[in-house]
Amino acid sequence: MSSDRVRSPIFTDEMKKDYTILVPDMLPIHFRLLMKIFENYGYHTELLTNDSRNVIDEGLKNTHNDACYPALLVIGQFMDALKSGKYDLNKTALMMSQTGGGCRASNYIHLIRKAVAAQYPQIPVISFNFSGLEKESSLKLTVPIMVKLIYAVLYGDLLMLLYNQCLPYEINKGDTDKMLDKWQRRLGNMFAKNKFFDTKKHYRAILNDFASIERSSEKKPRVGIVGEIYVKYSPLANNHLNDFLVSEGCEPNVPGLLDFVLYCASDTVNDGKLYDRRDSKVLAYNIGYDVLYKYQKQQIKIIKEHGVFFPPHDFEELRGYADKYIHQGVKMGEGWLITAEMAALAETGTDNIICAQPFGCLPNHIVAKGMMRVIKEAYPDANIVAIDYDPGATKVNQENRIKLMLANAKRQRQL
């Protein structure tokens, strides 16, 4: 924004005890773990679940029509919540993540402030980032908090993976949700008591518990979901895509959040190589990447040893898939990661792939649609469809396109 940039009140430590911090819904499984961690440090957070048409209408009213669909939804969800009468507007704050990349996701927070300041100038807007942005108004992330957040991503990815592999097959409706709730509460207590470090032990316990869910042996089509990070994960943004696929007799296959974290870290390391830069930031991200990748390999190894569920993709293998089609210097938005995920899914038997594309996400449209043809050429059985999500798109139209894709998949299996 220009010099007339809107500033919101600063969220201070004194506000922690009686302020409610509203968080937009992107990754319900992960965010409940993250929010439990913040609660252990004295923050009172609430994950927003309002998803009526009014959210979209508020987004349209409170931002300009050049903003991408995820920005519109986040702003709309915040404004709808603030107008609901559920909150003390003098004791409420908003929190938004910032990636620090070239995507407009880094600028959402300024759009939020502009929308909020016009009607609720007393409400602080907090930045949640690891990039050193918004130093005055960012959440204070200490080393212990950051370590716990990293582990929350690892555990959240495992829970999401197992949930999607159990829900479509459960014999007794509700068993998978009960198991998920059990482990979210248990992990929350582990974070509070600092008993979360023994990942091998906890991974095996989680795997054994989910494996104990009574499931049918029916073979259902597996459908991969890739695309822009918010629309890929958020039930609000993708019209509860996961639930719809399950209702259609499919098994959703959604890549984990750690892949995106590793993607961001590797991009900084790649920049250092491309531009011959060897500063402390590149060094830190290089070390961080190596540590996180080691954690991912450990999780994959334990899942394989357990033998009941299929593991996530190894990130170095994803990079190898990307290199067949696109340079890793293409890093705006989800950049080369979308290509890598589509290719990896097609290579490993998930032939049906939905690429979720939000209105206004230029990098996503260019890279995803640009790479779909070459991936289909390499994997003739791949059944890839791009689904656009925007304020004017109807849920019925989106679901009909997905049904057509699934019908084509069924026809191919019968040939």
Question: What tens digit of pLDDT does each residue of 281-316 get?
Answer: 899 999 999 999 999 999 999 999 999 999 999 999
CA distance 316 to 301: 14
Q: Assign a CATH topology to domain 221-255+313-414.
A: Rossmann fold (3.40.50)
CA distances from 88 to 47, 61, 82 (A): 16, 23, 9
Residue with tokens 């870290």: 265
Residue with tokens 């409610």: 20
The radius of gyration of the chain's CA atoms, rounded to the nearest angstrom, is 21
Tell me whether the CATH fold assigned to 13-138 matches the one assigned to 221-255+313-414.
Answer: yes
The pLDDT, as a whole number, for residue 2 is 40
Return the domain boundaries, the chain.
Answer: 13-138, 221-255+313-414
Residue 163: CA count within 13 A, CB half-sphere: 23
The pLDDT, as a whole number, for residue 1 is 38
> Which residues lie across from 383 on neighbouring strands?
352
The pair of structure tokens assigned to 319 is 């990079």
The pLDDT, as a whole number, for residue 3 is 40
Q: Assign a CATH topology to domain 13-138.
A: Rossmann fold (3.40.50)
The pLDDT, as a whole number, for residue 130 is 73
Q: Which ranges of the chain have pLDDT less than 70?
A: 1-6, 100-105, 131-133, 135, 412-415
399: left (phi over 0), alpha (psi -120 to 50) or beta: alpha
For residue 60, the Cα-to-chain-centroid distance in whole angstroms is 23
Question: What tens digit of pLDDT does each residue of 120-176 get?
Answer: 999 999 988 776 667 677 788 889 999 999 999 999 999 999 999 999 999 999 999
The pLDDT, as a whole number, for residue 393 is 84
Model-wide pTM > 0.85 = yes
The angle at the Cα of 348, spanning 300 to 412, to the nearest 5 degrees, equals 150
